[in-house]
């Protein structure tokens, strides 16, 4: 995390609501930035800035729900708090199913709004930590050579060194060297950690092969 203070982005086409909401938040020591339309927000929104959105539903141009859909389509998962004077059950259900943190109606109690903002900021911080971890893991995996990547994928699939050597047409000693380099480059200390790293970036291990046996004794991983 970069230590930047979270910002509350207020998107509402009512100037009085924008002004009063921003003034309230600033009095409570929140950073607040206002936008009069969804289009203005999309044109100026900096995704790297931590924080959340307070969003109206009914606005000229793109509605709040349409803006929410645009953000989701663009991969932006910044938490959204809907604050509207025209809310209804179907609209609130649709907004929440699409990932909104809360759906509040105007006028809203200060404590209720602050609680929703705090929850949204916590979610944003948690999401950014996960995203940062994924980036770190992805950069580590990029350091693997093509052969190390093959070994990596076979290791997380649960295959033994002997099995990997057979699959790749080499000897077990070579696989041990590649495997050690994979562990070093990824920072994993155990196979279990390696599997967790893979899962974090969406790499799902294939089911392991059944261990071959000779005279009833399974090969041991050398």
pLDDT given for residue 75 in this prediction: 86
pLDDT given for residue 218 in this prediction: 40
What is the rounded distance in angstroms from the CA atom of residue 13 to the CA atom of residue 34?
10
- Contacts (Cβ under 8 Å, ≥6 apart) of 150: 168
Q: Where are the domains of the chain?
A: 7-138, 143-218
CATH class of 7-138: alpha beta
pLDDT given for residue 3 in this prediction: 63
pTM of the model: 0.74
Count how many Cα atoms sit within 13 Å of the Cα of residue 126 in the half-sphere of its side chain: 7
Which H or E run includes 35? strand 31-35
Q: Is the peptide bond before 44 cis (omega within 30 degrees of 0)?
A: no
pLDDT given for residue 207 in this prediction: 56
Residue 35's DSSP bridge partners are 11
* pLDDT, mean of each 10-residue run, the chain (222 residues): 81 94 95 96 92 94 93 91 84 87 91 96 94 93 95 94 94 96 95 93 67 41 40
pLDDT given for residue 124 in this prediction: 95
- Contacts (Cβ under 8 Å, ≥6 apart) of 187: 140, 197
pLDDT given for residue 4 in this prediction: 79
pLDDT given for residue 106 in this prediction: 87
The yes-or-no answer to whether 7-138 and 143-218 have a common fold is no
* CATH assignment, 143-218: 1.10.10.10
pLDDT given for residue 2 in this prediction: 55
pLDDT given for residue 213 in this prediction: 43
**Tokens found for residue 119:** 């929850």
In 3D space, the residue among 104, 56, 55 whose CA is nearest the CA of residue 78 turns out to be: 55
pLDDT given for residue 102 in this prediction: 92
Please, are residues 156 and 198 in contact by the beta-carbon 8 Å criterion? yes
């Amino acid at each position: 995390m970069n230590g930047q203070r979270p910002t509350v982005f207020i998107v509402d086409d009512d100037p009085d609501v924008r002004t009063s909401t921003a003034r309230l938040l600033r009095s409570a020591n929140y950073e607040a930035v206002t936008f009069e339309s969804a289009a203005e927000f999309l044109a100026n929104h900096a995704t790297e800035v931590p924080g959340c959105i307070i969003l109206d539903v009914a606005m000229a141009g793109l509605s709040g729900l349409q803006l929410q859909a645009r953000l989701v389509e663009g991969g932006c998962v910044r938490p959204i708090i809907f604050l509207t004077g025209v809310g209804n059950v179907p609209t609130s259900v649709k907004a929440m199913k699409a990932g909104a943190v809360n759906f509040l109606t105007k006028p809203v109690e200060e404590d209720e709004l602050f609680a929703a903002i705090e929850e949204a900021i916590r979610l944003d911080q948690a999401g950014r930590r996960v995203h940062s971890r994924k980036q770190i893991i992805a950069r580590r995996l990029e350091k693997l050579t093509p052969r190390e990547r093959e070994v990596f994928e076979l290791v997380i699939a649960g295959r033994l060194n002997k099995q990997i050597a057979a699959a790749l047409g080499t000897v077990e000693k070579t696989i041990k060297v590649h495997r050690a380099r994979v562990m070093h480059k990824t920072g994993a200390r155990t196979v279990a950690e390696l599997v967790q790293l893979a899962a974090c970036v969406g790499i799902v291990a294939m089911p392991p092969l059944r261990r071959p046996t000779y005279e009833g004794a399974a090969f041991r991983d050398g």
